[in-house]
Amino acid sequence: MTSTVLQNYILGGWYTASTGLSVIPSALDGAAVAQIGSSGIDFAAAAAYARQTGGPALRALTFHERAKILRGLADAINARKEELYALSAHTGATRTDSWIDIEGGAATLFTYASKGRRELPNDRVLIDGGVEALSKRGSFVGQHLYTSLQGVAVHINAFNFPVWGMLEKLGPTLLAGVPAIVKPATASAYVTEHCVRIMVETGLLPEGALQLIAGSTGDLFDHLTGQDVVSFTGSAATAQKLQNHPVIARESVRFVAERDSLNATVLGPDATPETPEFDLFIKEIVREMTVKAGQKCTAIRRAFVPSALMDAVEAALRARLEKVVVGNPVQDGVTMGALISTSQLRDVRGTIAKLAEDATIVFGDPNIPPPGTDADGAFISPVLLRCDAPWAARNVHEMEAFGPVSTLMPYTDLADAIALCNRGAGSLVMSLFTHDPDVAVAVVEGAASFHGRVLINDRDCARESTGHGSPLPALVHGGPGRAGGGEEMGGIRGVKHYMQRTALQGSPRILSAVTRRWISGAPELENTVHPFRESFTQLALGKTFTSPLRVITLDDIEHFANFTGDTFYAHMDEEAAAANPFFPGRVAHGYLILSFAAGLFVDPAPGPVLANYGLENLRFLKPVSPGDSIKVRLTAKAKNQRNAEYGEVTWDALVTNQDDDTVASYELLTMNAI
C-alpha cells in the first residue's frame, strides 16, 4: 500500500490537508500506511454547516425515514466489507477481530434501523410517558416529549474499533435526527476514512449529516454550544482534558465519556474445576486477553477466584495461553495479531511493569517479541499476572494495560469478591461464572451499581452467550466512575442522548395537536360515519364512536363461563364471590366485558380496518354485576403509518356503566388500510 494522504469530508466535499501531516505506521512492520492531517479546515464553519444544513435535513425526516438510511448504509458497508478487511489488517487485527469491527458495526446499524422502525413512531417527535393530570377538571395537563437537538454531535473515537466505534455512535445519532462530525483516532483512521467514503458514496446521507475530521479537531471545541453533544471514547486523561474545556462547562455541552475500565470477572464459589462454569471461565479469560490483542475497552483485566482455586485456575489458563499463536494475522494459524503501534507496545510494556510491582508475571514475557514476528511490528505475547494480596495492591485496580494482559487474584468469600470488583471504581462490564442463583443475587445487589453491564454465564446460556467483551446495540454500553460515567446504545435509550426531553403543559386540545396524540379532554369529533369506515388517511385523531348501553345478565355471565371454560368462582358462586373483598357478589368476567365492548363498537362489514392486533394498558376498574349495563366510547388516539399500504391506529377505549363510572379502560390497536 502506498502512503496516501487521508481525506477529510468537510462541508459536503473531500478535503486533503497539505501541511502538518503525520504518518500512520502499520502495526505489522512499522511501514507507513497513510498520512493524516486536518490543517486548513475552518472548524467553526464545519460545525455551522452541520447545524444549519445537516440538522434541518435530518429533522425533516421521520424516525422511519432515518432508519431506512441506516439500513442502506449498513447494506453498503456489508457489500464492500472486503475493502475494509484489507485495510484493517494493517491495524494488527485478525480476520475475527475485524469481523467484530466491520460486520459488527454494520449489524449495529441494522439493529438501529430495525429498532427505529419497530419501536419509534413514523414521526419526528417522541412521546415520553403518559399524560400527567395537573388539574381537578382536566383542562390543564402535562406531557413529556423528546425533540431532536439542533446542534451537532462530535464523535471522538478510539483506535481499537475504527468501524464499529464510529457506527455505534452514528446509528443513534442519525436516528435522533442529529448530524455528526466524526473524529477517528489517528492510529487506525485509514479504516474509518474508507468506511465514511463508502457511506457517502451511497448518496443516502442528507447533505451535512456526516463530516469526517482526519487529524486534529483544531479549535472545534471553541465553537460548541448547548445544543451539541460530544461522545468520547478513549483514555481517561484525554477525556478529562476535553471535559475541562471551558466551553464544555460554560455551555453545558453534553459530554458522554467512555474511557479506561478495569473490568473484572469472578469465578463463583460453586464453580469448582469439575463444573462446566470453571471451563467457561478459563475460556472467557483467554478469549478476552487475545481478541483484538486485548485492546478492548471491555476486556477482562482482573480475574477473581476462590483462594483455594488459584493454582488450578493459573494452571488451566497457562495451558490455554500456550496454544495462542501470535503473528501477522494474514498468516495461517495465527490466533492473535499485533497491538496498534509500537508506541502502544511501549505503553503496554510500561503499564505491565507497573502492574508487576503488585503482581508476578506467570505467563508471557512482555519484552521478548513472540517467535517469528517482525521486530518492527507491535507484537507482544499474552501476559498473565498473579497477585496474591489484592487488598495490598493498588496498580492492578487502577491501571489499564490496553493489551493482552490480565491479572489473577484470590478472594476469601463472596463479599470479598464483590468488594474487590468494586475496587475498579466503576467499569463497563463485569462477569460472573456461577450456576447458583443465590450467588448471582448477591453479586448483582452488591456490585451492579459499579458496572454498566453484568454478564452471568453458566452452562445454560454459554452456547448462545455473546460473551463478556461484546457490547450489544440493544444493551447499555458505558459505566460509572473510572469508566467515564457515560452511556451509549441501550437500544432507543441511546437515541435519546441526542434529543432533548421537554415537559409540556397546556390544555388537552393544544397538547393533542403538538404531540399528535388525542388526549382525554380534547374535543371528541362525533362521526356521521362509523370511524371503522374511514381509511387511515381519512381518519382524524379525536374521531369518536359512542355505543348504546347493553345490559349484562346472569345468563350472559353463565353462558360466557360455560362457553369459554372460565368458571372461576367470582362468576359462578354467589356466596364465595361475596366473601371476596373486591366483589359485591357474582360479577361479569373481565374478558366478557372486553368481548361485549368489541360487540358494541365494531362495524362488521369489510372496510379499511384490516386487523385487531392487540391492546395495551388494560385496566378493569369497577366490577360489573348482573343487571348492570355497559357502553363503550372509542376514540382515535394516535396513528403510525407503517408503509404505503397500511398504518397502525391506536384507539382510546373507555367502558363505562349506567352510572358513567369507568368499568375498564385500554388502548386498542388496529391495522388500517391507507
Q: Which of 113, 158, 191, 383 binds ligand NDP (CB under 6 A)?
A: 158
For residue 671, list its beta bridge partners: 611, 648
Helices (H), 337-394: 342-355
Q: Which of 91, 160, 341, 641 binds ligand NDP (CB under 6 A)?
A: 160
Closer to ligand NDP by CB, 262 or 267: give it: 262
Closer to ligand NDP by CB, 164 or 560: give it: 164
Cβ count near 363 (within 10 Å): 21
List the one residue out of 519, 592, 520 whose CA is nearest residue 551.
Answer: 592
First to last CA, the chain: 54
Query: Which one of 96-104, 126-134, 178-186, 440-448 is the stretch in contact with ligand NDP (CB under 6 A)?
Result: 178-186
Q: Distance (Å, rounded) from C-alpha 188 to C-alpha 107?
A: 20
Closer to ligand NDP by CB, 69 or 399: give it: 399
Closer to ligand NDP by CB, 186 or 275: give it: 186
List the one residue out of 380, 273, 396 whose CA is nearest residue 321.
Answer: 380
User: Could you tell me the CA-to-CA distances from 368 to 279, 301, 355, 364 in Å, in that order?
Assistant: 29, 21, 17, 9
SS3 348: helix
Closer to ligand NDP by CB, 184 or 626: give it: 184
SS3 326: strand
Give yes or no for residue 258 binding ligand NDP (CB under 6 A).
yes
CB 321 → ligand NDP: shortest distance, Å? 21
Give yes or no for residue 228 binding ligand NDP (CB under 6 A).
no
SS3 277: helix
CB 330 → ligand NDP: shortest distance, Å? 24
Give yes or no for residue 626 binding ligand NDP (CB under 6 A).
no
Closer to ligand NDP by CB, 169 or 259: give it: 259
CB 261 → ligand NDP: shortest distance, Å? 5
Give yes or no for residue 400 binding ligand NDP (CB under 6 A).
yes
Give yes or no for residue 183 binding ligand NDP (CB under 6 A).
yes
CB 233 → ligand NDP: shortest distance, Å? 5
Closer to ligand NDP by CB, 489 or 597: give it: 489
Q: Which of 41, 156, 253, 405 binds ligand NDP (CB under 6 A)?
A: 156
CB neighbour list of residue 52: distance below 8 Å, 6 or more residues apart = 208
Give yes or no for residue 43 binding ligand NDP (CB under 6 A).
no
Give yes or no for residue 186 binding ligand NDP (CB under 6 A).
yes
Longest dimension (CA), the chain: 92
Q: Distance (Å, rounded) from C-alpha 595 to C-alpha 572?
A: 18
User: Could you tell me the CA-to-CA distances from 343 to 24, 51, 97, 187, 349 in Å, in that order?
Assistant: 11, 37, 20, 10, 10
Give yes or no for residue 188 binding ligand NDP (CB under 6 A).
no
Give yes or no for residue 38 binding ligand NDP (CB under 6 A).
no
Residue of 195, 297, 387, 421 with catalytic role: 297
Give yes or no for residue 110 binding ligand NDP (CB under 6 A).
no
CB 484 → ligand NDP: shortest distance, Å? 7
CB 539 within 8 A of CB 639: yes
Cα 388 to chain center, whole Å? Answer: 37
Give yes or no for residue 157 binding ligand NDP (CB under 6 A).
yes
* 276's grid cell: 462446566
Helices (H), 221-368: 236-243, 246-250, 276-290, 310-321, 342-355
Query: Which one of 70-78, 230-238, 618-626, 636-644 is the stretch in contact with ligand NDP (CB under 6 A)?
Result: 230-238
Q: Which of 97, 228, 260, 277 binds ligand NDP (CB under 6 A)?
A: 260
Give yes or no for residue 261 binding ligand NDP (CB under 6 A).
yes
Closer to ligand NDP by CB, 261 or 670: give it: 261
Give yes or no for residue 185 binding ligand NDP (CB under 6 A).
yes
Interaction with ligand NDP in 327-386: which residues (CB under 6 A)? 347
Q: Which residues of 223-251 are buried (b: 16+ CB within 10 A; e: fewer)?
A: bbbebbbbbbbbeeebbeebbebebbeee
Cβ count near 18 (within 10 Å): 9
Amino acid 607 reads G
User: Could you tell me the CA-to-CA distances from 535 to 42, 512, 518, 639, 642 in Å, in that order?
Assistant: 51, 21, 18, 11, 14
Residue of 103, 258, 534, 648 with catalytic role: 258
CB 615 within 8 A of CB 666: yes
Give yes or no: 65 in active site: no
Q: Which of 146, 402, 498, 620 binds ligand NDP (CB under 6 A)?
A: 402
Query: Which one of 119-127, 155-163, 360-368, 588-596 is the stretch in contact with ligand NDP (CB under 6 A)?
Result: 155-163
User: Could you tell me the CA-to-CA distances from 125 to 47, 331, 401 in Å, in that order?
Assistant: 24, 51, 43
Give yes or no for residue 78 binding ligand NDP (CB under 6 A).
no
For residue 609, list its beta bridge partners: 672
Query: Which one of 235-243, 375-383, 569-577, 587-595 is the stretch in contact with ligand NDP (CB under 6 A)?
Result: 235-243
CB 156 → ligand NDP: shortest distance, Å? 5
Closer to ligand NDP by CB, 326 or 399: give it: 399
Helix axes 81-88, 63-79, angle to 10 degrees: 60
Interaction with ligand NDP in 262-321: which residues (CB under 6 A)? 297
CB 486 → ligand NDP: shortest distance, Å? 10
Give yes or no: 258 in active site: yes
Q: Which of 35, 148, 231, 233 binds ligand NDP (CB under 6 A)?
A: 233
Q: Distance (Å, rounded) from C-alpha 591 to C-alpha 595?
A: 6
Closer to ligand NDP by CB, 67 or 345: give it: 345
Give yes or no for residue 259 binding ligand NDP (CB under 6 A).
yes
Interaction with ligand NDP in 189-218: which residues (CB under 6 A)? 217
List the one residue out of 200, 196, 192 whose CA is nearest residue 159.
Answer: 192
Give yes or no for residue 229 binding ligand NDP (CB under 6 A).
no
Q: Distance (Å, rounded) from C-alpha 229 to C-alpha 210?
A: 14
Give yes or no for residue 164 binding ligand NDP (CB under 6 A).
no
* Active-site residue list: 258, 297
User: Which residues are near ligand NDP by CB under 6 A?
Assistant: 156-160, 183, 185-187, 217, 233-235, 238, 241-242, 258-261, 297, 347, 400, 402
